[in-house]
Structure 1
Amino acid sequence: MTTAQDIDSALNRIKRYIHKTPIITSSFLNHQLGHDVFFKVEAWQKVGAFKARGGINSVAHLVEQKKSPKRIIANSSGNHAQAIAWAAQQFNIPATIYAPQNISKVKARATLHYGASLELIETRAGVDDAVAAAAEENGVYWIPPYNHPDVIAGQGTAAREALTQLENVDAVFAPCGGGGLLSGTLVAFRAHSPNSNVFGVEPLLANDAAKSLRQGHIVKLAQPSSTLADGARTPSVGPLTFPHLQQLDDFFEAPEEAIIYWTQWLTHLLKVTLEPTSAMAMFGVTEWLKTQKSKKRVLVILSGGNIDQGTRHAIWENDFLDRLPKEL
């Protein structure tokens, strides 16, 4: 299990490489909801996503321990691919990323830009088989997208950093794909803001984590998900993240319309380019706030801002800005 000390060590290790991302808010949204909602903008992080934190922590920790591999490999559908490519570049270590063929084009181009090789494979299962086989080669080190202690600790630095920027947080919300960000967020808040509620949100169309939590064991998606929240299309959470997720205060499953709605509204109000995976956390926020009888201070971790033309078109195909947040 990842500890608060692991996260503090990670933050000290990576702070020279990453941005200390800002926390912003919208007075209009706060007025509409009747609560104060703050946003940790990891869309402005290196590589455009929180994944840079886990990626650079994993590689830097290897180097710190004098265990630099001949090659680093990773399996990813997008942001983790960029993060590992960028992190490996910082230490001049060759990297190969294995990804499904439906990887976001903008994320694929960025991965190549950071100097990594990109192996595209038809299915997620094929990707997992290929990276596992490559990991058996001598001198190769595999950094998976979430089921790795240094990745979880690195992702937790976003929440740890936020707690130095914002006080008196009643609740924090983070999106859930494989559970790395959410696990790290939980550990950081339980240690440094124990009275805060910690919540996760995932797409209803990719609700493997919710099913796993209900059944008490890890459940995999029966088939690939079509959710617009491509960062949460992971087939299952991991054995390292699941025990952390079981400690959450609650978990929400966002319908596609709500994901699109909040992607439009947050882009409009915050003037930040956001992935649907980031914005879907607001579904959980509004569902929880409906049950609250006093004014709350809520933190949302906006996980990333890498979005390609096809997803952008799907988001803006219908206009939801004529429905104010208070009307939900």
Structure 2
Amino acid sequence: MSSIQFADILAAQQRISPYIKKTPILSSSMLNQWLGHDIFFKAECMQTTGAFKLRGATNFLLKALENNHRPNKIVASSSGNHAQAVAYIGNKLGIPTCIYASESISPIKASATRAYGATLKLYSNRLLADEAVREAAQADHCAWIKPFNDADVVAGQGTVIAESLSELDNIDGIFAPCGGGGLLSGSLIAARSLSPHTQVIGTEPLAANDAADSLRQGKIVNLPTAPETLADGAATPAVGEVTFPYLQALDDFYEVNEEAIKYWTQWLHHILKVHVEPTCAMSMAAVTSWLAKQTSRKRVLVILSGGNISAQSMQMIWQDDYLSDLPSL
């Protein structure tokens, strides 16, 4: 396991504070009544650029500048939210940015990436995009900001939980989605220091379950093909060497089918009145499965990791009406 410490998260929190929003914590009294537990939602969907990814990208770049390593160019590969984050902070700091992505990138995320001033290069699949960014990063004075497989990025993502647990106490479980594992890794490090009794639990689409397969096999496993899932933020081909040991230390991990992802995306939109991505809504399927096994009232924190959804995804989510089926355990 890499040597990321809680002190690194605290340093990141101070470093990035001028560039990020302190996002609100939401709840629904109706949902709490239905489930019989207290559910809190950290609304990173309301973060600048619409996702938690801004925290890690900003920490990486600002720490490099602190160490007098100002790049002439920034490169990254991403399915969307990391792309926007890198484009945004690069623009803020006046550094040219180029993003490499697959052609399947969400149109809304592609448009936002370009709007933040980045050049966007598209490839037929994610593997080709990753190869292209790896080659581009060889140029002199070029910074490659990886979406999850980097200690400074993980420390930045851990500020979500450091921030949350400064407002909430006695949290029994923290739930977050797993793409490459950066958010979950940072969450685990922060939670173990601030609230050791709190369980940290990951969720992943069943249709893109490389992390779950990796945990079962005890080694990093790649998806054989590009997955088809509404949870596009969790469609990463594989977790990283930096994040995998932290994923192995999680308290539990759930795989969620597409119908449950649609169900909870509809319900969170309805009860919270905020725009949330399917990637983070799927955590609620894990929450209800976990709560069904508990024998006393629990306090749960769910990270709403992003809120950038394409019109096409929205149409797929709302093809069927799930709101007539009330949430329950």
Same fold flag (TM > 0.5): yes
Instruction: Give unpaired runs (5+ residues) of structure 1.
Output: none
CA distance in 1, matches of 2:19, 2:72: 22
TM-score (normalizing by structure 1): 0.99
How many angstroms apart in 2 are the aligned matches of 1:19 and 1:226? 32
| 1:294 maps to amino acid | S
**Residue identity matched to 2:301:** L
Distance 1:122 1:278 in 2: 26
The CA RMSD measured in Å over matched residues stands at 0.7
Aligned twin of 1:58:
60
Q: Please list every run of 5 or more consecutive structure 2 residues that lacks an aligned counterpart in the other structure.
A: none
Deviations 1:139-164 (A, max 9, x none): 11111111011111111100110000
Identify the residue that residue 158 of structure 1 maps to in structure 2: 160
Residue deviations 1:261-295 (CA, integer Å, cap 9, x gap): 00000000000101000101101100000000100
Q: What letter is aligned with 1:227?
A: T
Structure 2 residue 81 is matched with structure 1 residue 79:
yes
Supply the distance in 1 between the matched residues of 2:157 and 2:87 (Cα, whole angstroms): 16
Q: How does 1:151-230 map to 2 (within 5 A)?
A: 151-230=153-232
Q: CA deviation at 1:55?
A: 1.1
User: Are residues 1:141 and 2:178 paired?
Assistant: no
Aligned length, in residue pairs: 327
Matches of 1:89 and 1:309 in 2, distance apart? 26
Partner of 1:233: 235
Q: Distance in 2 between matches of 1:169 and 1:74?
A: 35
Alpha-carbon distance between aligned partners in 2 of 1:268 and 1:175, rounded to the nearest angstrom: 20
2:257 matched residue in structure 1:
255
SS at match of 1:172: strand
Opposite residue 321 of structure 1, the aligned amino acid is L
Q: Distance in 1 between matches of 2:314 and 2:58?
A: 28
Equivalent residue for 1:10, pick from 9, 12, 15: 12
Report the CA distance between 1:66 and its aligned residue: 1.1
Deviation at 1:52, TM superposition (A): 0.7
Structure-1 residue corresponding to 2:266: 264
The sequence identity of aligned pairs, in percent, is 56
Match of 2:109, as an amino acid?
A: K
TM-score by length of 2: 0.99
How much has 1:324 moved relative to structure 2? 0.4
Equivalence for 1:286: 288
Q: SS state of the match for residue 16, structure 1?
A: coil
SS in 2 for 1:325: coil
* TM alignment of 1:88-107, pairs within 5 A: 88-107=90-109
Q: Take 1:222 and 1:131, find their aligned partners in 2: how far apart are those partners?
A: 21
For residues 107 and 61 of structure 1, the distance between their equivalents in structure 2, rounded to whole angstroms, comes to 26
CA distance in 2, matches of 1:136, 1:256: 39
SS at the partner of 1:218? Answer: coil
- Residue by residue over 1:164-201, the C-alpha shift from the partner in whole angstroms, topping out at 9 and shown as x without a partner, is 01111011000000000000000000011000001000
Aligned-pair distance for 1:125? 1.0
Secondary structure in 2 aligned to 1:74?
strand
Partner-residue secondary structure (3-state), 1:53: helix
Q: Which runs of 4+ in 1 moved over 3 A?
A: none
Rounded Cα–Cα distance in structure 2 between residues aligned with 1:85 and 1:41: 21
1:69 is matched with which residue: 53, 68, 71?
71
Whole-Å separation in 2 of the counterparts to 1:120 and 1:304: 22
